[in-house]
Structure 1
Amino acid sequence: MSISYNALSGALAAQAALNTVSQNIANAQTKGYTRQGVLLQANAGDGSGLSPGNGVQVGSLLRFSDSYKSQQMWRAASDVGKHSQTQPYLTQLEKVMSDDKSSLSYGIDNFFKALNAAGVDPTSTPLRQQVITAADSMSQQFNSIFNVTANQMISVQQQRSAILPGLNESVAGIAKLNQQIIAVGANGSNTSALIDQREQLIDSVASQVGVEVLNNADGTATVSLKSGQPLVVGNLSGTLAFDTTSGVQQLNLTFAQTTFKLDDTKVGGQLGGLANFQENTLKPLQQSIAEIADQMSAKVNAQLAAGFSAPGVPGTPLLVFNPASATGLLQLSSGFKTSDLAFSSDGTPGDSGNLQQLVAIKGQPITLTSLGNVLLGDADTQLVGKLGIDSQQNQAQLNTATTVRQQSEDDWKSTSAVNTDEEGINLIEFQNMYQANMKVIAVANTLFDATLKMFG
């Protein structure tokens, strides 16, 4: 009977292998599917020294997975998420601020050109009107660009808030799958499909925040932020939320009734990239635009106040700076007229002493938080240059991260993805194995029948 038993065990093992091959081929195009295999083990003999063995058995189902390659893929996903979310904002700012007709430099230059032109005839009403028109146009350009940054601020905050529901759902899903994997594994069933689902959720989370993943002996995965705070431990999951009670978005993580305050500029992924852009690019740029408007309007108004629009009539403010308004950051003084321009230094009609001092303001220094001391005429150019560098660096980092992600995916596929050519070969080999064992069973039956006839 050992012949029949050996052949039967071989046929059953081949059948198990064919089932595994068919599962692989069926899921050749399934995203995130990890190919499987069977580990065949020879059964030892009865110890008599005359038995070659007791057939074969399926020792275990194999899941072809490399933890290192998965970790590399998740780290790359975080880098791609970080840089891809900020690039559209940087590109828009760079385009708007460097445009020949809508930049701050264009408006400032035209204003001071109008002042220069008025020096030909300081009493000319058309030339004076040109100064007021240029001042109004400059104010509108300040307001327009500042409004772009204000809209981006709103968009970034909304985008950050929109990420959290899906992120929290994925984190909870990982914890639920941990629990299912333990339960299914305890029954001796295959958990590969559940692990695939969990790894796809981890990949999704990794694109939104940077994570560290630890695979445990019981089959569960522990997921934490780069800074160490836990997101998933066993069947427990954390929840990320923004607290706005202080007037700003404070990112908090609540896990097991403990709340951690997070620096969201350092959490990585899409969430960290957006926060880093908001804090280190957008807010400083907004502040710099406001500082240029504030200091320039103060200098112009102060110089007008030092001159006279008519004998004994001191100048009045031309510009009004309003930091509380996104659409009216800089405006003309209400009711300001051409006759209010104090070009004279002593009140004498036709004198342009104070006008020359106004023209000289363009070459005076101002102080910007992001740049330090710069000349008023160069301030916007330097802001645009810094923005261009930031955009180019981010684009270069995005290109690198995208390449690394593609390479890490290819590395993962080389180990875990289904190769239909390889599976086709396995299909033929295990089919031959099955048929050969069935022939052995047929021979064993023939021998058994012949033995019975000998005693018939």
Structure 2
Amino acid sequence: MSIYNIALSGASTNRTSLNVTAQNIANANTLGHSRQQALQSSVVNSNEVGAGVEVSSIRRVADQFIISQLRSSNTEVGSSNYSAESLSQLEQIVGSDGFNLSAGMDQFFGSISEASIAPESSEYRQQVLSDAQALAQRFNGLNQTLTNQNAQLANDRENNVSMVNGLLDNLAQSSKAIMKVYNVGGNTATLEDERDNMLNELSQLMKVNVSKEENGELQLSMNNGQPLLINDKAAQLSTTPLPSDPYQADIKVTFNGTDFKFSGDLGGELGAIETAQKKDLAAVQSTVNDMAETFAEKVNESLAGGTDLKGEDGKPLFSYDSAGSLKMNPLSTDQLAFSADGKPGNGEILAELLAISKTDYAIAGAGNVNLSEAFSLSVGKVAIASRQAQTNLDSSTALLDQVQASRDNLSGVNSDEEAANLMIYTNAYEANMKVISTANQMFNSILNAF
């Protein structure tokens, strides 16, 4: 092979290497960009000295193990971050002074105690009614706020499901493009970076098992093995509200015309939403509703055994329904049945009412405790869970930072290294062009000899 062609191959190869270096430098700050290397190899011709050089491949510098760790870390951060935020909101709700059921009960039973001084006093009776109304409002306000948070969790779930479906569609198109480029011998590095970025986003929303092949084929499955994607065919997620709670839902996966009902831990943000609804929020709602029902029942039972100022049988002060609503019935001051013997000055029923505050009851999520302690225990559990969620977030974020640093150290662009490569390839390119110039001079010398 002629010196001219050998030098031309060298110039072409180093120009390609310069293009790869320029691509790296241009994307030094691009999220998820993996640096590339132009691998050069000598072209051997057994009949001659050699046939020059060529770019045998453009290598994407990436470690699949680190990439897999990065996805797992994103799943943990997605889950712990959402849990920390939702528990922090729940902690603020139950810790609000306006929703402090213990304080409301103390106030109500305090007015009961004061009424014992003069059971027939309209002023004391009015205070009992006022504090009863205030306590009912605390229960209902807290219950409504918890319901609103449940609705927000449901809205976040629907948004995340929509994002998952969008990412699965994009991943299917990306895999199709990678396989097409691979089959014609093209460079898939940039496409693979984009696909890995999408996989990281998807992993933050839910846990996915990933299987990749060198030719660009990609298979994704859920934590329980149900398929999410096979190359260019993607599944779609949908939700069906539960009859028992319209804000909670079953998740269905539709793949290739077949429906699967998902069961197990979703992981990521979707898993955290499910935990927040079915565990954290449900526990508080269960305790609050059990408190309201027990409180209304015991107060009404005591009043039913007494007579009011008109000598009539006692009427219930509260009503409670299965939706968690506690209402104060429209009683007048003289309809409060505080007397056990029909005499206006008798206040034995007030003593029974006061005993309610000191009696232990079986309250969901709290055990056998008095009503005031039940709420305090619930608040304490939320606070502990919130602190633990923040600790989990801190540790998972630290781990993600470590894995990201490992990935960047291996795959990230090093400006000093690329600057050195720029000089090396430039000098090599210029040297090969010098050889071509020399070859031309030799050719011209030969021509001038005739």
Q: Provide the residue aligned with 1:366 in structure 2.
A: 361
Name the amino acid aligned to 1:204: E
- Unaligned ranges ≥5, structure 1: none
The letter for the 2-side match of 1:408 is: V
Which moves more between the two structures, 389-398 or 136-145?
Answer: 389-398
Deviation of the 1:17 alpha carbon:
0.3
Q: SS at the partner of 1:331? A: strand
Q: Shift of the alpha carbon at 1:149?
A: 0.6
In the alignment, the residues of structure 2 paired with residue 378 and residue 234 of structure 1 have an alpha-carbon distance, to the nearest angstrom, of 56
**Which AA in structure 1 matches 2:317?**
L
Contact 2:120–2:309 under 8 Å retained in 1: no
Check if 1:187 corresponds to 2:187. no
Secondary structure of 2:99's counterpart equals coil
Contact 1:311 1:348 in 2 (8 A): no
What is the identity, as a one-letter code, of the residue corresponding to 2:46? D
Per the TM alignment, residue 2 of structure 1 is displaced from its structure 2 partner at its CA by 4.0
Query: Which residue number in structure 2 is paired with residue 269 of structure 1?
Result: 268
1:429 paired to 2:428: no
85-94 or 406-415, larger mean C-alpha shift? 85-94
Corresponding residue SS for 1:157: helix
- Aligned partner of 1:124 in structure 2 is 121
Gaps of 5+ in 2: none
Aligned equivalent of 2:327, options 316, 331, 356: 331
Matched, 1:7 2:7: yes
| Cα distance in 1, alignment partners of residues 89 and 60 from structure 2 | 46
Q: Which residue of 2 aligns with 1:244?
A: 241
2:372 is the counterpart of 1:377: yes
- The total of aligned residue pairs comes to 447
Contact 1:266 1:276 (C-alpha < 8 Å) held by counterparts: no
Distance 2:214 2:4 in 1: 39
SS of the aligned residue for 1:250 comes to strand
Of all paired residues, the percent bearing the same amino acid is 33
Equivalent-residue separation in structure 2 for 1:366 and 1:119 (angstroms) = 24
Map Cα deviations across residues 194-223 of structure 1 (whole Å, 9 max, x no partner). 212211211111111111111113222211
1-side partners of 2:314 and 2:286: how far apart? 29
- C-alpha separation between the residues in 2 aligned to 1:337 and 1:353? 20
| 8 Å CA contact 2:93, 2:142 repeated in 1 | yes
**Secondary structure of the residue that 2:357 maps to in structure 1?**
helix
User: In the TM superposition, what whole-angstrom CA distance separates every residue of 1:28-48 from its partner, at most 9, and x where no partner exists?
Assistant: 22222222111111223416x
Q: Deviations over 1:165-204 (max 9, x none)?
A: 2211110111111111111111111112221221121111
Would you say the 8 A contact 1:118–1:128 is kept in 2? yes
- Give secondary structure in 2 for the equivalent of 1:398: helix
1:59 is paired with a residue whose SS is: strand
Report which stretch shifted further, 439-448 or 364-373: 439-448
Alignment of structure 1 residues 119-158 onto 2, 5 Å: 119-158=116-155
Alignment match of 2:170 (pick from 159, 163, 173) = 173
Deviates more, 1:421-430 or 1:407-416: 407-416
Q: Which aligned pairs between 1:39-438 and structure 2 lie closer than 5 A?
A: 39-46=39-46, 52-244=49-241, 246=243, 249-263=249-263, 266-310=265-309, 313-324=312-323, 329-334=325-330, 336-438=331-433
Q: Distance in 2 between matches of 1:289 and 1:410?
A: 46
Whole-angstrom distance in 2 between the partners of 1:369 and 1:261:
30
Whole-Å Cα distance in 2 between the matches of residues 88 and 117 of structure 1?
Answer: 43
Return the alpha-carbon distance in structure 1 between the equivalents of residues 97 and 163 of structure 2. Answer: 41
Mapped contact 1:96–1:103 kept (Cα < 8 A): no
- Contact 2:208–2:220 (CA under 8 A) maintained in structure 1: yes
